[in-house]
Amino acid sequence: MTNWQAEAEKIRPQLLEDLTTLLKIDSQRDVAHKTDAAPLGPGPAKALNTMLAMAERDGFNTLNIDNVAGRIELGQGDEIFGLFGHMDVVPAGPGWNTDPFDPVIKDGKLYARGSSDDKGPSIAAYYALKLVRDLKCPINKKIHFIIGTDEESDWVGIHRYLETEPAPDFGFSPDSEFPIINGEKGIATFAIDFKPQPTTGALQLTSFSAGLRVNMVPQSATATLAGEIPTSLDTLLAAANQQKGIHVETSPAANGITLTMTGKGAHAQEPSDGINAATFLATLLNQLPLDPAGKQYVSAIAAHMHEDSRGHLLGINHKDAVMGELTASPDLLTYEPAGKQQVLLNVRYPQGTDPDTIIAGITAALGADTVTVSVNGHAQAPHYVAGDDPLVKTLLQVYQDHTGQPGFEQVIGGGTYGRIIDRGVAFGALMPDAENVMHQANEYMAVDSIIQAVAIYADAISRLAQ
């Protein structure tokens, strides 16, 4: 019987070398600088080609789909067993103690953007596949390791791949948590656009902005005021700075003042893990005598979105016995007096509700005379693979065998490529007791955990490919 942990330890140096190479690439989606050769920007294309080049170096057959997705191949058979990883990352954002694209190991932890989401787990799955091949494990299926380059945004890569290539019959994505994720909530972002109001007054909100991506709780928010700044602002600022987890600073601006609020970023799948700087700033501003348009904007945020990750104040809360609670996170906010006045609200919803119901709830809460609400982009329906499916049972058994811990089903608000096929799940690489720092500053993954993931993935691949 193969000692997978011992085999994984042997490849530690080469794995870390390859992973470091990948982590040095700033591979966030960047369509502002897209080219015909890099439709999603130079970084994603470079990371994909680097990963495929590593596989070619090691003797695998590969396929590149328009520099937006790729495949690493092993085995033959009637069924296709899929692995799904991604090379793109969310923006680094503020608050890092090290350069997010210059990987560093401290206290056994590898710090870099993408170390845990998803370059670390993806390279672990790749080396697991290589171990299975090199140890000549019996394989009776085609194994397609499919790599996307915009999992953190619109999934252009994976959808382009499936336009021309066969979908796997079953598989897993190394892009979440152990022991397994066999259910994922629906995901949709709702554009809340505010209707015009007068922008004149003694105190005007001249700008409000927050957020990097719709799947990240905003760590910072900025607003500019013009006109007669009330003396009460100093008291409000002092009170805000007494609150745990937030900090607000001011600086002079044309005819007024700029306020910058700092909170804590987090993955939007669990907004309560972060401290939303935007809603805290709006709540502070709501205590000022702003012009009608500015007041309409900040009061809606303060009254209906502040410190309410379950959507109760918007009238969209919903709970399912299997999939849990709906979550709601205002993640991208823009206000211009004569332009866009918008909140992009990221919602993760269980079965039992849907986008139309959510739109109706938000509209009723905020008022049809105040806002229009629509789905921004595309909505993904809830996804669930039953616990008695052989895929789920096998993966849970592998987890138990390697950790000695009981396996159990889990449903999350995050969205992984596992949901792209009916019998797809997410499997690791974050251990249940590990800190989840995906999408946060100072993202890291313990090196020992990466090596353990190699062992677990290799064992899982060998069992599922027989």
Question: Which residue type sits at 95?
Answer: G
Q: Which of 66, 88, 273, 443 is catalytic?
A: 88
Q: Which of 447, 442, 441, 398 is nearest to 4 (CA)?
A: 398
CA–CA gap between residue 345 and residue 210 (Å, rounded): 12
CA–CA gap between residue 298 and residue 277 (Å, rounded): 13
Cβ neighbours around 41 below 10 Å, total: 21
CA distances in angstroms from 182 to 177, 179, 280, listed in the order given: 10, 10, 35
Q: What residues contact residue 427 under an 8 Å CB cut-off, 6+ apart?
A: 172, 173, 174, 176, 178, 180, 181, 395, 399, 418, 457, 460
The DSSP element (H or E) to which 428 belongs, if any, is: none
Q: Is 211 left (phi over 0), alpha (psi -120 to 50) or beta?
A: left
| Sheet of 424-426, strand order | 61-65, 69-74, 142-148, 80-86, 170-173, 424-426
Looking only at Cα atoms, what is the longest distance across the chain? Answer: 78
Q: Which of 64, 73, 32 is nearest to 46 (CA)?
A: 64
User: Residue 232 class from Cβ within 10 Å (0-12 exposed, 13-18 middle, 19+ buried)?
Assistant: exposed
User: Structure tokens of 430?
Assistant: 């974050």
Q: Which of 7, 118, 150, 151 is catalytic?
A: 151
Question: Which residue type sits at 441?
Answer: A
Active site residue 88: yes
Peptide bond into 179 cis (omega under 30): yes
Alpha helices for 184-265 (secondary structure H): 232-240
CA–CA gap between residue 90 and residue 377 (Å, rounded): 18
Cβ neighbours around 400 below 10 Å, total: 14
User: Structure tokens of 224?
Assistant: 């500019």
- CA 311 from chain centre, in angstroms, equals 20
User: Residue 367 class from Cβ within 10 Å (0-12 exposed, 13-18 middle, 19+ buried)?
Assistant: exposed
User: Structure tokens of 92?
Assistant: 């680094």
CA–CA gap between residue 117 and residue 29 (Å, rounded): 14
CB 382 within 8 A of CB 350: yes
As annotated, the active-site residues are 88, 151
